[in-house]
Amino acid sequence: MYYYCERTAADIFSEPLNSITNLSFILISYLIFKKYKNYDYGLIFSGLIFCIGIGSFILHTIPSKITALVDVMFILFFIIFFLYILYREVLKLTIMYALFLSLASPILYYYLGSSLKEHISLVGDSSFYIVILLHLNLIYFYLLVKKENFNNYILFAGIIFLISIFFRIIDKVYCDINLYGTHFLWHILNSLVLFYLVKFIISNLSFHPKNTNQVL
């Protein structure tokens, strides 16, 4: 049995929905480019999300250990960069401390996710994303306590992320009922998660865009 429900053969286009829904990442990348290109980090976030879409598309058309690694690496790059900017620009930590936490967090995700997967086999590799969701919740509650003025975009991202993880988990659970699976919904919802995470970061930056005509 293949890893994703929709894939039933080794053909390149055996996952049409899982492949084409990566366009949602490309669309979000474009929207962020148009909206935040004149903001610091806007272009970087746009480029990272574009790469996530490309990496995921390659994985779902030509699945292999190499394409899986490419897919994971692009996601990892986004996570590290997002966390660094969060710790440095929003939480105002020192450069070294922000860098340490942003690099250490994925390692912690791996070990905690592996432990969760071992104890609750149903969640599978989604265990790592569950740990990331818990981290987002911790960040949100920390901001509630410590920071007076911040937007709720990170809360929106967390809620959507919870729903997307659910669809990722049940992809193969109900494969006999739904032959297309539900992984494609994970793509669509996750593109929205990334949009709100970027919106959260840029909306909380302490400096202004280069083009004052740009509005949030």
Q: What is the pLDDT of residues 124-152, one digit of tens each?
A: 889 999 999 999 999 999 888 887 677 88
How far is the C-alpha of 112 from the C-alpha of 83, rounded, in Å? 18
* Joined tokens for residue 184: 């494609």
Q: Using one digit for the tens of pLDDT, what is the confidence trace for 153-173?
A: 999 999 999 999 999 999 988
pLDDT score at 173: 81
- Which element (helix H / strand E) includes 68? helix 65-85
The pLDDT-based confidence of 36 (bands split at 50, 70, 90) is very high
pLDDT score at 9: 76
167, 186 Cβ separation under 8 angstroms = yes
62, 12 Cβ separation under 8 angstroms = yes
Domain boundaries, the chain: 16-203
In this structure, the number of other CB atoms found within 10 A of the CB of residue 26 comes to 16
Chain Cα centroid distance, residue 191: 7
Model confidence, pTM: 0.90
